Amino acid sequence: DTGVSQNPRHKITKRGQNVTFRCDPISEHNRLYWYRQTLGQGPEFLTYFQNEAQLEKSRLLSDRFSAERPKGSFSTLEIQRTEQGDSAMYLCACLDPVPNEQFFGPGTRLTVL
Amino acid sequence: GENVEQHPSTLSVQEGDSAVIKCTYSDSASNYFPWYKQELGKGPQLIIDIRSNVGEKKDQRIAVTLNKTAKHFSLHITETQPEDSAVYFCAHLSVRGTYKYIFGTGTRLKVLA
């Protein structure tokens, strides 16, 4: 257990529905990342936050995706109008800047039918 | 160039033998190179990392080497055990105007008892 929690762990939804995932990081870690991982691939960077500020978004993050970290603590990732291609594992990680270690949560596995 | 190439994609070794996984990156500004182990149903977990100011780092049965001139780094696991079986990812930290981690495509290691 890394201390990073994600909910839900699994989500099955129908195409066109909206879904929201939550990440609760280690409280002292002010940098938070979201990644997407598909089968047989490494995690792909989606976006990251420094406290409540979203500093970068990947080109992978279409306008159907939005992430927030309102108080610089937990974060949410919302996907609107889901498509089958959105099926993947969504990972959250927080960063301890000293010594630069990322701590990953267990992920939320999304299946879009 | 932010990509990182990882080889091999699968690796089977006999228990007690050594395993070597190699990664090549293209971003000369990268200065931090972590390795992650991912077990089924879990997020990646950091197992060892190396910074650009050193060429080798060792932690018990695990070692990492870095050749900044050639832009490649390798993970070495000695005296492999069945519990080493997992998917291993290399990564590097891209610092070109941002602060994001780029992952390799993973190596599935199977240690045969």
Mean pLDDT of A11-30: 93
Name the token pair of B37.
């182990």
Contacts of B6 in chain A (CB under 8 A): 42
Of A2, A41, A102, the CB nearest to B101: A102
Q: How far is B66 from chain A (nearest CA, A)?
A: 18
The single residue listed with the structure tokens 């695990």 is B62
Residue of B nearest to A10 (CA): B41
CA–CA gap between residue A28 and residue B35 (Å, rounded): 23
The sign of the torsion formed by the CA atoms of B23, B25, B31, B34 equals negative
- Read off the pLDDT band of B97 (50, 70, 90): low
- Pairing assessment for the beta strands A44-50 and A101-104 based on DSSP bridges: unpaired
Whether the pLDDT of residue A98 is over 70: the answer is yes
Mean pLDDT of B97-109: 88
Structure confidence by residue, pLDDT tens digits, A24-71: 998 778 899 999 999 889 999 999 999 999 998 888 788 999 999 998
pLDDT-wise least confident of A3-7, A95-99, B65-69, B82-86: A95-99
pLDDT above 90: percentage of residues in chain B: 73
- What pLDDT does A23 receive? 97
DSSP bridge partners of A30: none
Do the Cβ atoms of A2 and B91 come within 8 Å? no
Whether the pLDDT of residue B1 is over 60: the answer is no
Mean pLDDT of B4-8: 95
**Alpha carbon of A7 to those of A13, A96, B41: distances in Å?**
15, 22, 14
- What pLDDT does A44 receive? 93
